[in-house]
Amino acid sequence: MRTAIVFIIGLFLFGCGSEGISPADTAYVFQQPSNFPPATYTFENNPVTKDRFELGRALFYDPVLSADSTIACANCHQQVRSFSDPVHKFSKGVNDVSGFRNAPAIQNMAFQAHFFWDGGVNHLDFVPINAITSEIEMAESLSHVVTKLSRSDVYREKFENAFGTGEVSSQKMLYALSQFMNMMISADSRYDRYIRHEGETLTADEAAGMKLFATKCSTCHATDMFTDGTFRNNGLNETFAQDSGRARVTESADDRGKFKVPSLRNAELTFPYMHDGRFRTLQEVLNHYAHSVKESETLDPALKQNGALGIVMTDDEKAKIILYIKTLTDRNFTNDKRFSNPFLN
Ligand code: HEC
Ligand code: HEC
């Protein structure tokens, strides 16, 4: 008999624990980390179950979603790199077509309100539509994906188990992908265990980095999400002809050159950095903030204080901030078998 999985909001699991729920069940329950803000995803419409999660997982790793069956979501979003792209500065889609942005990490999506560097999509369920239909990604149509999946006995069975009917539809496909991504929660770094008083300590240098980060970086990389969820210009460019960022969505000149403040969780792993993947290392990123912030009409005021561009930091301070950022690395997440390629086990 199939195990019934109950969707339980937060509180219940963290802290007062798991009376009556075996570990096998909790693996597919959405767990709200106590140091995170409330989830933004509306689970009422799409409660997590193991079968839906597993369907989403199969879809995520299956190149059948692309026009020529060569590219899966996982090609550009690899677990070892917290589901970002370790290889390409700009992502590469079908027929080796180059995109114009760096693939961001997929982690803690359930807590995010805007998706893509410019916030062009505001619900997780719609993200895969862009990925599947985009000419620079999978270049396929939703209806053709549905046709291809309907031909497969394996998928019809998975849809049946997940939704009670073997009929494949794009809505169900999107729900399943969202469930898989919603469960991708990274909240088990050394930082998290330290902040939740779970017996972890930070070294003196890491703790010093934490203080420096709070004064120099946390205006934008705020809260335990390490982003305030806003769109800002952090001084990469003087002009925005290449990519106007948020202005592509709002068509407002005031938004030119603004991009979503990315979370810095697992930043040790998610290189190359920035929307255009221009920096290879955290050292280069810190050098940017210290020495090469560029003036423009939309440059964030936080990066121009008392008329001086950038953030004042010594080399020693930069090094400590980098050590601190590395405490956000969560190998339990990048090694979590639940999120691995199901076609390889
Ligand atoms: C060819 C590479 C490629 C493929 C294939 C791909 N993505 Fe992406 N993904 C990207 C890039 C690049 C972005 C950023 C796009 C932008 O900001 O304009 C992105 C953004 C995202 C985001 C938003 C993350 C955030 O923080 O805003 C999610 C979620 C996502 N992709 C999920 C998927 C899923 C699910 C699939 C498969 C259906 C998929 N991607 C396929 C390259 C890819
Ligand atoms: C004014 C707001 C602001 C401040 C202050 C700020 N950042 Fe950022 N940060 C951003 C934005 C916006 C981006 C994305 C820019 C883009 O890609 O165009 C970003 C990107 C990054 C990235 C790349 C992440 C990725 O996944 O590509 C790192 C690392 C980073 N910042 C670290 C820092 C550190 C360390 C500090 C403090 C020294 C800092 N930031 C201060 C707004 C800010």
What amino acid is encoded at 284 in this protein? E
Regarding whether 204 and 271 lie in a shared domain, the answer is: yes
CA triple 224-230-234, angle to 5 deg:
100
Q: What is the CATH number of the domain that holds 77?
A: 1.10.760.10
Flag whether pLDDT at 15 surpasses 50. Answer: no
Regarding whether 273 and 225 lie in a shared domain, the answer is: yes
Regarding whether 281 and 177 lie in a shared domain, the answer is: no
Q: How many angstroms is it from 103 CA to the middle of ligand 1? A: 6
Residue 51 lies in a domain: yes
**Domain end residue (candidates: 186, 206, 233):** 186
Regarding whether 165 and 259 lie in a shared domain, the answer is: no
Cβ(115) to ligand 1 under 6 A?
A: yes
Regarding whether 203 and 136 lie in a shared domain, the answer is: no
- Residue whose CA is at the smallest distance from ligand 1 atom 43: 76
Regarding whether 146 and 262 lie in a shared domain, the answer is: no
Regarding whether 257 and 277 lie in a shared domain, the answer is: yes
**Domain end residue (candidates: 141, 167, 186):** 186
Residue 260 lies in a domain: yes
Range of the domain at 255: 190-329
- The predicted pLDDT at position 22 comes to 59
pLDDT tens-place string over residues 155-211: 999 999 999 999 999 999 999 999 999 999 999 999 999 999 999 999 999 999 999
**Domain end residue (candidates: 186, 216, 236):** 186
Regarding whether 299 and 286 lie in a shared domain, the answer is: yes
Cβ(116) to ligand 1 under 6 A?
A: yes
Lowest model confidence (mean pLDDT) among 223-227, 245-249, 264-268, 302-306: 302-306
Q: How many angstroms is it from 340 CA to the middle of ligand 2? A: 29
Testing ligand 2's pocket by substitution, the residue of 102, 108, 217, 315 carrying the most ligand atoms inside 8 A of its CB is 217
- The predicted pLDDT at position 21 comes to 52
Regarding whether 263 and 160 lie in a shared domain, the answer is: no
Write the DSSP symbol of residue 132: H
- The predicted pLDDT at position 169 comes to 97
Neighbours of 240 (CB within 10 A): 20
Q: Which ligand is nearest to the CA of 95?
A: 1
Q: How many domains does the chain have?
A: 2
Q: Which ligand is nearest to the CA of 87?
A: 1
- The predicted pLDDT at position 90 comes to 82
Regarding whether 277 and 167 lie in a shared domain, the answer is: no
Regarding whether 228 and 133 lie in a shared domain, the answer is: no
Q: How far apart are CA 55 and CA 175, in angstroms?
A: 10
Q: How many angstroms is it from 203 CA to the middle of ligand 2? A: 24
Regarding whether 251 and 285 lie in a shared domain, the answer is: yes
Residue 342 lies in a domain: no
Cβ(65) to ligand 1 under 6 A?
A: yes
3-state secondary structure of 308: strand
The residue assigned the tokens 């939740």 is 196
pLDDT tens-place string over residues 235-278: 999 999 999 999 999 999 999 999 999 999 999 999 999 999 99
**What does pTM read for this prediction?**
0.93
